[in-house]
């Protein structure tokens, strides 16, 4: 099976299983989405959704958040991990949004990536799930699955993103990003499938007998 055939097969399975793709992070606007995505780094979406109600009760917009201190945020977001760093980033980016962007989250990839604590993946999620622009955010989980399914040989998430964008139509990127996340959690997790168990892995590589070892990004 060629790479494009594997891509078509994977997308067929994903479309059958996940016709709707709700954003897994609870949010009410672009700002709360940005903060939720920032908190999700090295943390589960479930945990983030447990933490953000208290955080957004404290402050749910850049103007109010900019008046808070990292020390006030720390005990709230501590369960998400990396709390000192994330606390400082949230305060600093909120001040920048107020000072430079009239309190609005910029609808621009480069400007988003300039914000403290906001990398390429976080900016891509906000652009796709928040503003609806085509993007294909790739984290370590999508990177792992793309390797298992033979869709990339990329040694890092940026190369995997490039490869996936070449394989799939631009209009499908946003939906596919979420579909792959949902599928990975349900059927092709790090420990639940080793490349020889789930429907997509066995469909793409029916003769694979040994566990597939993905390259770490």
Task: Report the catalytic residues.
Answer: 121, 139
Please tell me the distance from the alpha carbon of residue 92 to that of residue 99, in angstroms, as a whole number.
11
What's 128's DSSP letter? I
Picking from 60, 18, 20, the residue whose alpha carbon sits closest to that of residue 36 is 60
Residues 100 and 140 sit within 8 Å (Cβ to Cβ):
no
What are the C-alpha distances in Å from 203 to residues 6, 7, 18, 92, 147?
Answer: 8, 11, 18, 47, 14
Burial class (CB in 10 A: 0-12, 13-18, 19+), 91: buried
């Amino acid at each position: 099976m060629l790479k494009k055939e594997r891509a078509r097969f994977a997308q067929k399975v994903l479309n059958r299983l996940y016709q709707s793709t709700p954003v897994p992070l609870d949010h009410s606007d672009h700002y709360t989405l940005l903060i939720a995505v920032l908190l999700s780094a090295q943390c589960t979406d479930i945990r983030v959704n447990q933490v953000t109600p208290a955080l957004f009760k404290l402050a749910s917009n850049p103007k109010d958040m900019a008046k808070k201190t990292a020390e006030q945020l720390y005990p709230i977001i501590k369960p998400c991990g990396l709390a000192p760093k994330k606390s400082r980033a949230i305060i600093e980016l909120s001040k920048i949004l107020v000072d430079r962007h009239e309190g609005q989250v910029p609808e621009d990839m480069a400007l988003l990536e300039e914000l403290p604590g906001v990398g390429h993946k976080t900016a891509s999620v906000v652009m796709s799930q928040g503003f609806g622009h085509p993007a294909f955010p790739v984290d370590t989980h999508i990177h792992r699955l793309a390797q298992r399914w033979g869709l990339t040989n990329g040694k890092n998430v940026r190369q995997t993103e490039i490869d996936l964008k070449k394989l799939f139509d631009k209009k499908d990127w946003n939906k596919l990003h979420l579909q792959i996340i949902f599928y990975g959690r349900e059927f092709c997790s790090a420990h639940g499938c080793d490349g020889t168990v789930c429907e997509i892995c066995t469909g793409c590589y029916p003769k694979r007998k040994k566990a597939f070892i993905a390259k770490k990004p």
